Structure 1
Amino acid sequence: MTALRQRTRTRYGDRPGIAYLFLSPWMAGALLLTVGPMLASLYLSFTNYDLFTTPRWIGLANYRRLLLDDPRFLTAVWVTVKYVALSTPLKLVAALAVAMLLNRASRAQGFYRSAFYAPSLLGASVAVALVWRVIFDTNGIVDQSLSTLGIHTGGWVASPRYALLVIVALAVWQFGAPMVIFLAGLKQIPAELYDAAAVDGAGWWRTFRSVTLPMLSPVIFFNLVLETIHAFQAFTGAFVVSGGRGGPTDSTLFYTLYLYQKGFTEYRMGYASAMAWLLVIAIAAITALLFRTARMWVFYAGEDGR
């Protein structure tokens, strides 16, 4: 094996161009489809641009208008924050609960795993959002079921009080991806820890709190970061359920939906670019904060001082 490595190093070690040749498709894609558009949007965020005329440099005017003179922008921020604060923990709790149930041996284990993961395969599709809107709309299944119990809502989609909850429920329903990750993490917890807890007389809750959660904390942190970022980028559900308007009374005006309205409805692409970069900065700051707080509650087996 050592001789083979030596011959390979001798043949290709002085020809790094071959490595760059194989990397070139990825590098071209990154430059043309990711880095290039990002730099272009950064430049456009400092301009007045409507897709049809030459961009005109206006400096920080877009950012000042967003932060100081646009009340709907602040509404969109608040609606998005509420959505993230509701959907992310509920989705993770549902995913962990189902993963713990599926972690038990069962003859139909494969079927149940596939069934619970199936909604996530559909993704944030327009078809699913349309069905969800019909279910929660006036005279929908949910509205009719509640009416039989004497609870009259008039349809969740048309209610400023409940419309956001419809989109939250759609996000929580698609908990398959974090569930699979939780299930993989549960498989890695040593059975000896549970045996020791049983010998000490620990009940279910004490075992869960003292064994499962600490050993699963890296996986919880991983899912928390991914789902938080994903929640801030939510768009399809809000667009379809609200009909692209963010209603009723801006109760479902997500940040991404308002960005879409500014960029592709009002053709204020410079303004939309500024919104996009503020979102990038906000997500980066929140992610950094999560990493900073992780040292206080994430347990990594084998670390010194733990």
Structure 2
Amino acid sequence: MDPKAKIYIAGHRGMVGSAIVRKLQAEGFENLLLRTSTELDLRNQEAVDRFFREHKPDYVFLAAARVGGIVANNTYRAEFLYDNLMIESNIIHAAYQHSVTKLLFLGSSCIYPKLAPQPLKEEYLLTGTLEQTNEPYAIAKIAGLKLCDAYRSQYGSNFISAMPTNLYGPNDNYDLNNSHVLPALLRKMIVAERNGEPQVEIWGSGTPMREFLHVDDLAEACYFLMHHYNEAGFINIGTGTDLSISSLAVLIKEITGYKGQLVFNTEKPDGTPKKLLDCSRIHALGWKARIDLKNGIEKVYQEIKSLPF
């Protein structure tokens, strides 16, 4: 990418999009196209087409999405499917129509079958049934990566896709009804430590295994792929290591200094039993995550511990 190229980051105020903006700015890219959802409704095809026609971006990072944890995914099933289908379809089609040089579409590791072999290889896509609680979101993301492949196949568009694992970092969502497990646990223990609460409830059994990637590492990977990856299909982005939710809770308890008990509510859903990405393809290209989980969480804790939760 030429440092003077016009680069559109869709979803620039979200956790992923803002990390990509920070990375691009650190690398000297200043011609960034940024629009809030109020300024540009990505579900509106006419508005998206007008934006691309007027500004003609050279590169696109498609990080915009409606996202949330298990409860949000399961509660707002229609919106998670409709909104994400519209966002990705409008942007990908406009990128084709207005001759974008390259587009990177970001999905989610929930696209894999619930009981796929571990670790998850890219070729396991569509080989089994999805996890029911986030099926609409997963289907939308699968449609997005298939759309990129279809435009590549039919029109020769250089549209690539990447599937990150569970993310955390600056600008995360700490709403307990819509957040993912790591930020939810951080918030719960910060508040419990502040208030001297005797216990913290953790949803599920604590046995599911999860992999966590700092969003700054993801931004590094996206920047890397824009320079070094030009293939059909998609590529996993993760750390290659996982831990149980109960182990994560103990780690966060240690970092926050919380002294109370951890109580697991087994009436709440666990989700997929294990979700570890096989990252051998991106490792072979020369990229690996750098931020250790404990150090990453400690950094996030320092950033948010004084927030008025």
**Where on the TM-score scale, by shorter chain, does this alignment land: which range?**
under 0.3
Higher strand share: 2
Higher helix share: 1
Q: TM-score, normalised by structure 1?
A: 0.23
Q: TM-score, normalised by structure 2?
A: 0.23
